[in-house]
Amino acid sequence: MGLKPTCREVHRLASEAMDRELSVVERGRVHVHLLVCQACRNFTAQLQLLRRATRRLGDGEEPR
């Protein structure tokens, strides 16, 4: 694990964050990377959108 996390690592951690709480170090690494990487900010936003949509569908609610 290098000083600056790679996009691949951030994608993995963002995905894992949907299922578990990240450690302080993991959250910090993701946060620092997201400050400088627009592509990863877009990726995490898309993950969050998909998560919300699947939750709504699981509840029987129509997605907006």
Band of the pLDDT at 64, cuts 50, 70, 90?
A: low
pLDDT tens digits for 22-58? 999 999 999 999 999 999 999 999 999 999 998 888 7
Domain ranges (residues) in the chain: 7-58
Distance set, CA 11 to CA 14, 28, 56, 59 (Å): 5, 14, 23, 27
Band of the pLDDT at 60, cuts 50, 70, 90?
A: low
For the full predicted model, state whether its pTM sits above 0.85.
no
